[in-house]
Structure 1
Amino acid sequence: MKSYIEERAIELANYIIESKSTVRAAAKKFGISKSTVHKDVTDRLLQINPTLAEAAKAVLDTNKAERHIRGGLATKAKYKGQA
């Protein structure tokens, strides 16, 4: 694996852990696709730094469990603004 990919994976994981960021927000911040963020954090990082990968995965799992709530709140805000 190229060194810049390893560095990017570590930076992504640190950003996600520190800011409790979603995959979408991390992708936007780093200017890469959501699938690249997901692949870096779940697959590539596991080979580089398993401890960091587990910490990042915990944040992503929490975000995944809460996303239906965030979606509902966004929809509620959208229709509240139209009324």
Structure 2
Amino acid sequence: MKGNMEERAQQLALYIIEQNTTVRQAAKEFGISKSTVHKDLVERLPLFNRSLYLQAKAVLDQNKAQRHIRGGIATRRKYCDQTPPTTE
């Protein structure tokens, strides 16, 4: 999704707000890198649409606050789904 960066930034912000997604999920959906999503939202969007930026920032801040919990859940799934090694 190349082209107008302002339009892309707005579309990313709307997607993240409406779907309550993470940067990784938005990057996958739009076919761009996480770095590009982050740069569009944090550096470009505030320059031309401050209110949309603040709404997207609220979702990003919420995701940041919850990421350690998600990491713990993923680790638990990884190790609980495996059968424990036998000691014979």
Question: So what's the TM-score if we normalise by structure 1?
Answer: 0.94
The unaligned stretches of length 5 or more in structure 1 are none
| Count of matched residue pairs | 81
Pairwise CA RMSD: 0.9
For residues 4 and 29 of structure 1, what CA distance do their matches in structure 2 show?
18
Q: Which secondary structure does the structure 1 equivalent of 2:6 belong to?
A: helix
The TM-score normalised by the length of structure 2 is: 0.89
| Cα shift at 1:4 | 1.2
Q: Does 1:25 align with 2:25?
A: yes
Specify the structure having the higher radius of gyration (Cα).
2
Q: Which has the higher helix share?
A: 1
Between the aligned partners of 2:48 and 2:21, the Cα distance in structure 1 is 21
User: Residue 43 of structure 1 corresponds to which residue in structure 2?
Assistant: 43
Equivalent residues in 2 for 1:47-62, closer than 5 Å: 47-62=47-62
